[in-house]
């Protein structure tokens, strides 16, 4: 069998807008539910979520079962061993947080690709379906998609150099960490953050690389869509569950109170 095509990467270079959703709860059932809602992609968050390697495999299988939703995995950091393990589990698209320099970006690319393009070591893995994809070593480099996150002022300073690194497919802005590192946390600083993220988006788009963002704030999401972003995540499973459950409870509390008053 041929190594599967990375449809997420293909759509990325066709400049299609792809709407995604964040999986922080590390649960395969939640991944399966979300994958069948029509999202273009779901991100398994191994930076902040309570992920294990076996748990990531379960979520990858759940997402793959939808046959229409692509799975992304955010690595916990820059460690090449962690990147290799995630790819060996079968992820074709990885996101790496807190990338601040072109040197870091080049190291991430090297960790993600087999020689001679990189330094990824060879071993029997789920990614190759344990030999079921006999040409995986030769074919996989073309299917690997690498997204780096721009989350600090230093990363913004080096943005064009990072984007120019061969093998980097997209730059994904992290507005929460950017707000934290730039002293813009809280609603009082929203206007300044809005300006900063808009300016950064324009610079990413100008490099020719795909731009992305995660935000639960509709204003930022709409700003990015209007500005040319092609990867947009508009929610996180944990926050969405909390909001839905809370809204349901508040609705029933209101009904009970109104009925008692009548």
Residue among 11, 4, 46 at smallest CA distance from 26: 46
Backbone φ, ψ for residue 235 (5° rounding) = -170, 170
What distance in Å separates the CA atoms of residue 58 and residue 54, rounded to the nearest whole number?
Answer: 6
Determine which one of 7, 48, 78, 189 is catalytic: 48
Q: How many helices (H) and strands (E) does the chain have?
A: 12, 8
What distance in Å separates the CA atoms of residue 198 and residue 200, rounded to the nearest whole number?
Answer: 5
Q: Are 61 and 92 in contact (CB under 8 A)?
A: no
Active site (annotated) includes residue 48:
yes
Residue 43 CA: distances (Å) to CA of 23, 94, 132, 183, 216: 6, 9, 25, 27, 15
Q: Residue 64 has what DSSP assignment?
A: H
In order, the DSSP letters of 104-146 are: HHHHHHHHHS-TTT--PPP---TTTGGGTSTTHHHHGGGT-EE
**Does an H or E element contain 30, and which?**
helix 28-35
What distance in Å separates the CA atoms of residue 202 and residue 195, rounded to the nearest whole number?
Answer: 11
Residue among 213, 218, 147 at smallest CA distance from 174: 213
Q: Which of the residues are catalytic?
A: 48
């Amino acid at each position: 069998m041929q190594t599967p095509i990375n449809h997420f990467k293909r759509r990325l270079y066709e400049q299609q807008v792809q709407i995604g959703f964040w999986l922080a709860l590390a649960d395969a059932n939640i991944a399966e539910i979300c994958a069948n809602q029509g999202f273009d992609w779901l991100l398994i968050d191994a930076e902040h979520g309570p992920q294990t390697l076996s748990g990531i495999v379960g979520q990858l299988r759940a997402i793959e079962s939808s046959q229409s939703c692509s799975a992304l995995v955010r690595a916990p950091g820059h460690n090449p061993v962690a990147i290799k393990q995630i790819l060996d589990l079968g992820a074709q698209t990885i996101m790496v947080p807190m990338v601040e320099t072109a040197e870091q970006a080049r190291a991430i690319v090297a960790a993600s690709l087999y020689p001679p393009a990189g330094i990824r070591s060879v071993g029997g893995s789920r990614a190759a379906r344990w030999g079921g994809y006999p040409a995986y070593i030769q074919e996989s480099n073309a299917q690997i998609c690498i997204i780096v996150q721009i989350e600090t002022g230093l990363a913004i300073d080096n943005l064009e150099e990072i984007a120019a690194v061969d093998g980097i497919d997209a730059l994904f802005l992290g507005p929460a960490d950017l707000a934290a590192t730039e002293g813009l946390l809280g609603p009082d600083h929203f206007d300044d953050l809005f300006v900063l993220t808009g300016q950064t988006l324009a610079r990413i788009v100008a490099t020719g690389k795909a731009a992305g963002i995660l935000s639960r704030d509709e204003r930022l999401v709409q700003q990015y869509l209007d500005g040319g972003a092609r990867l947009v995540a508009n929610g996180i499973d944990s926050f969405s569950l909390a909001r839905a459950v809370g809204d349901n409870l508040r609705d029933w509390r209101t009904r009970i109170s109104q009925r008692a008053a009548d």
